[in-house]
Chain A
Amino acid sequence: DTGVSQDPRHKITKRGQNVTFRCDPISEHNRLYWYRQTLGQGPEFLTYFQNEAQLEKSRLLSDRFSAERPKGSFSTLEIQRTEQGDSAMYLCASSRRAVGQLSTNEKLFFGSGTQLSVL
């Protein structure tokens, strides 16, 4: 059973550096989500892809953040000029939208996340 995998598991960087995270969703899943989670909070939505199209971005996603899913499979999330406030767990999740019907039974499968620490 291949779940959602994320790489790296941990990333420590200095303020001002760029970082890139990768997410490999479950293979048959066409929807991919990025969330950010800080201590004591639930996951906060960042952005969402259906296949290779980025359909929605949160206001939390400043212009320093960019996400791609070029072939509709894996996705990358890049943060440029990192700030200490970017320190968080970045979670990726995927789901499968049933073709031809409303997504009333959609559920997310999460990866283990990338823990980012900006010094």
Chain B
Amino acid sequence: EDKVVQSPLSLVVHEGDTVTLNCSYEVTNFRSLLWYKQEKKAPTFLFMLTSSGIEKKSGRLSSILDKKELFSILNITATQTGDSAVYLCAVVYNFNKFYFGSGTKLNVKP
């Protein structure tokens, strides 16, 4: 039973394109949703979302959460080859449980 579903599983775009990555979830006692970027080894933290409708932004990346419809999106504008990575969504529930989706593999071509 999947608790966190990410889509698409993989995506190929060209530099300069805008991409939208999706994460839907179904858990009890939802606390927060986290986005990570995984390039080679260690996932690195991008955003934490706890409230609906409040956009988090960092440079060309932004993310928003919808707690009613149980999903989040991660947007990347003006993509660069350095954005190529696996983007992981994790849902925190029951205070200390982190459940990860399978990730979206993004390949940005020059």
Contacts and interface: CB of A to CB of B under 8 A. Distances in A.
Interface of A: 3-4, 31, 33, 35, 40-45, 48, 50, 55-56, 89, 91, 97, 102-113
Contacts of B34: 107-108
B88 A42 contact: yes
B102 to A, nearest CB: 5
A51 B36 CA distance: 25
Contacts of A108: 34, 43, 45, 90, 98
For this complex, into which size category does the number of interface residues on chain B fall? 20 to 34
A110 B4 CA distance: 20
B48 interface: yes
Nearest to A33: B98
Contact of B45 (A50, A89, A105, A109): A109
Contacts of A113: 41-42
A108 B95 CA distance: 13
Contacts of A4: 42
A48 B95 CA distance: 13
B52 interface: no
- Tell me if A's interface is mostly helix, strand, loop or mixed: loop
Contact of A91 (B6, B32, B42, B48): B42
Given A43-B88, A91-B42, A112-B41, A103 B95 contact: yes
A43 B45 contact: no
Given A43-B43, A105-B32, A105-B50, 16 more contacts: A40-B9, A42-B103, A97-B96, A102-B31, A103-B31, A103-B95, A106-B32, A106-B92, A107-B34, A108-B43, A108-B45, A109-B45, A110-B42, A110-B44, A113-B41, A113-B42
A79 B96 CA distance: 25
A77 B9 CA distance: 30
Contacts of A48: 96
Contacts of A91: 42-43
Contact of A107 (B48, B100, B102): B48
Interface string B43-71: 11100101000000000000000000000
